[in-house]
Amino acid sequence: MVALADPRNRPYVLALMGALLALCSFYALPYLSVQVSVHLFGLSAERARSFSATELAATYDVLWWCVVSAFAVILLALFQLCRSWSVMQARLGGGYVLMIAGGSGMLILFWVLAQIYQRSLDTLPDFSGAADLSGSSNFSFLFGSGQTIVSLGIGAWCYLCGMLIVIISGVLALF
């Protein structure tokens, strides 16, 4: 408990909390929501589904590296909290490792989400579909129209916030 109260350990306590938030959101919260609506002959139908991160990781194996980066942050933070403060170089190196691990986790998540969005556009019928940057795409055909909306779930937002906390704590560890 004394190590947690030491002001020099605050960045690592903060990193530990951010990594735990990211890890819990990865396993417990929905990551992605897809909503498809079709209007045909005056009738309309909607279908919405949420995907968890483990469901997405079954298709996109690289998503498991988000878990690896969160575990790396947890191990580094616990190591920094349990050792003595006689080595200044290890303290500075820990800050850089926190920033790299947090940034790589965020980049991997952004890359996977971009792949999912692109795949959702590729699976739409090619009836002059036009996509915008908001995560929705509209398509129309002879007797009807439709729309697909791909949006981030609360799990992805919490993971991104957790990794942002890790990056900020890495910057704080350098000072």
> Which range marks the domain in which residue 104 is found?
2-29+53-125+154-173
Say how far apart CA 131 and CA 128 lie, in whole Å.
Answer: 10
76 falls within a domain: yes
**pTM: predicted TM-score of the whole model, two decimal places:** 0.77
117 falls within a domain: yes
139 falls within a domain: no
pLDDT of residue 50: 84
Query: Which pair of tokens denotes residue 117?
Result: 């969005």
Q: Indicate if the pLDDT at residue 96 is higher than 50.
A: yes
Number of domains in the chain: 1
163 falls within a domain: yes
12 falls within a domain: yes
- Best mean pLDDT range from 7-16, 41-50, 97-106, 132-141: 97-106
Dihedral-angle region of residue 59 (phi above 0 means left; psi in -120 to 50 means alpha; beta otherwise) = alpha
81 falls within a domain: yes
Given a contact cutoff of 8 angstroms between Cβ atoms, the answer to whether 62 and 108 are in contact is yes
Query: Which pair of tokens denotes residue 18?
Result: 């951010």
Helices (H) and strands (E) in the chain, counts: 6, 5
Q: What is the percent of the chain with per-residue pLDDT over 70, rounded to a whole number? A: 78
